[in-house]
Every structure is written in structure tokens, then in C-alpha cells.
Structure 1
Amino acid sequence: MAGFMQFMGQNSSQILSGTSAALDFYNSYQQSKIVKAQGQLNETLGLLEADSLRRKATMTENIGVHQAQVEQYKGRVAHSDATAQMAAGGGVVDPEMLAKIKMRADYNALSAIYDARSTAISMREQAGMRGIEARFGRSQAQAQARDIRTSALTTALTEWPRSVAQSPTLPKKRSAGYDYASQSKAQGRGGY
């Protein structure tokens, strides 16, 4: 026990320094894992947001098609009402007036489709950009995590030789001319 206490007294600063370097490396490694996990989580959330935008774009396009159908229905109703009024007013149906009603209904229907489709295209472009941002953010987080690990390892390796790799000072009990081979034979352990 006395030998252990003497060893600890002489080498405690080296042991503490080595332990500190190992703990710093471990903490940095854990931090790099957290950064990497956050990057993956942010990518997942970004891709979900992009998917949501794509679904909204499809929904917007479908709403535009529905509005176009409503506009065409309104045009057919207006065409029918105009025909009925012209017939009730004297029996003459003006084809020019009916053509204007049909053109207006077609224009409104195509306008609804165009507006919805252009909005949907814009939303899909935003979704694509959001997906790219999410993937780029993940790769940046992975690079940052790699840099943290590399820096921690470099620091640990530069601190390690000064702290632990130096040979500890042990009390010398044997003389410089001590013959290990003859002593091991004498003790019955064989020789080398």
C-alpha cells in the first residue's frame, strides 16, 4: 500500500492530466453525436415540410379545377337563362350574345385553372428548395460533427504524451547490473 501511495504522490498530476484529456475527448465526441443527430432531425423536418408543400400544391391545383368547373356551370346556367329570356321576349335568339356568354365562362374557367396551376408550381418550387436546404443543413451538421471529433482527437493526442505517456517514476529496488534471466531461473520460472 505504501508503494501505491508513493506512486500516486509522484504521478498524480500526470494521471489527472491524462484523465482530463480523456474526458474532454469523450465530451467532444458526445457533442459531435448530438450535432449530427440535430442535423438529421432538421433534415427530416425539412423534408416533411417540403412534402407538405407539395401536397398543398396538389390541393391548390385541384381547387382550381373545381373552380373552373363551377365557372363553366355558371356559364351554362347564364346561357340557358339568356336563351329562355330571348325566347320569352319575342322568339329571336341572338347567337352573338350567347357566344359572348360562352366565351366569358370559358375565360373564367381557364383563369381559375391558370391561377391555381401557377400557385401550385410556385409551391412545388418552394418545396424543392426546402428539400435542398434540409439536405444541405444535414451535410453541414455532419461536417461540423466531424470537425468537432477531429479537433477533440487532435487535442487529446497532443495532450496525451505530456500527461500519461511519460514513463512514471517507480522506486528503483534493483541495481543496474541486475540479471533478470538468472533470477527467473533461480525462482523456477524458466529463462528466456
Structure 2
Amino acid sequence: MRLKVNGQPVEAQEGSLLLDVVDVPTLCHHPHTETQGLCRLCLVEVDGRLLPACATPAREGMEVWTDTDALRTLRKTLLEWLALTTDLSLAPELQDLLASYGADPGRWGALTVRKGSAPIRDNPFFLRDYAKCVNCRRCVDACGDGIMGVYALTLENRGLLAHPTTPLDRPLPETPCVFCGNCVQVCPTGALRPLGLEV
């Protein structure tokens, strides 16, 4: 099928998502999990509407814009708020995105929602450091429906206070966790990381 991306004709395979066709930043999307459309970094303009590229099927004749002034401003603001609320010191790809969009988190003042929380060391394999969590939910999905199906991780709270945790906030060894490491592998920020990488 044919569609237009930034005014140029592009071929797309039947059943593909816009993310398979366009080059836009993303955070919550991972090819091995089912998390889609949460971070909003991959928003594109389609026929005058903003849609997440990771959750929007490509269609014949679509006109897609990926890098308008409005989209750049939106991505810049989203990245600034991530930097304000989260310790991104172990997320070099996000730091690069902040720089490429000219993000200036300081223009919003000071806000440290999760930055002060201490890492949780409740098992011999990895840390849970929610100060570095951007709430992409990849780990929850990898532990649940996406890969393992053991549901040792869940979400707690809402909005800026939302973060992954264990059911009833129990130590990991008291959950169905089998310490497979899939949650660590899909984490983009080091919020879940092997012991020995403490920062």
C-alpha cells in the first residue's frame, strides 16, 4: 500500500503500524511487549489528528507528518517533564533526545516526584530503583501478558505518582517472580538493573 510521509510517497506492507514506516522517537514501545501509546513521544499527525505511531495501523492514502513544529514542541515538553520527575542518569538515549530537542526542564521550576526514592534491594539479582522509572510499563507487561505471564509486577498509584511495584508491595521473593530478568531487559532507564550497577 502507498501513503505519504512528510509529503513523500512511502510503501507499507499490509498490517504494518505507522511505527514500522516512520522514524519517530518512542519510549514505551518494545517489540517483545504489548505496551502501546502510553508515552506519547511517537505521536504523528494524520489527516489533522494526533495519533500514536506505535498503535496506529498504516492505511492506503494516509498523509502522515512526523516532525511539525507542534510535534517538536510536544515532544520537547514531554521530555522536559520526564527529566523533572525522574532520574535519567542511566538513560543515555533519553538524554540524547533531550539534547536533540533542545529540552530545558528548568524552565518549569523544580519538581522531584520520584527522584528521592531509595532503591529496593530485596533479592540477590537486581535492584528496583523507581527514582529512575519513567512509567513506561514495559516491565509490568513483560512480567504479565507480554512475555512471562507470572504477574509479579503491577502498577500502583496514578498520574505522576504511578509506578511499577509488586502485588501488595511484597518483596519480590514473596511473589510469583522466577527472576527470569525479562523486566530488566526491557527497562529503558535502569530503574530495574542487575546488582553491581548501583548508581
Indicate the structure with greater helix content.
1
TM normalised by structure 1 equals 0.18
Indicate the structure with greater strand content.
2
Look at both structures and tell me which one has the larger radius of gyration over its CA atoms.
1
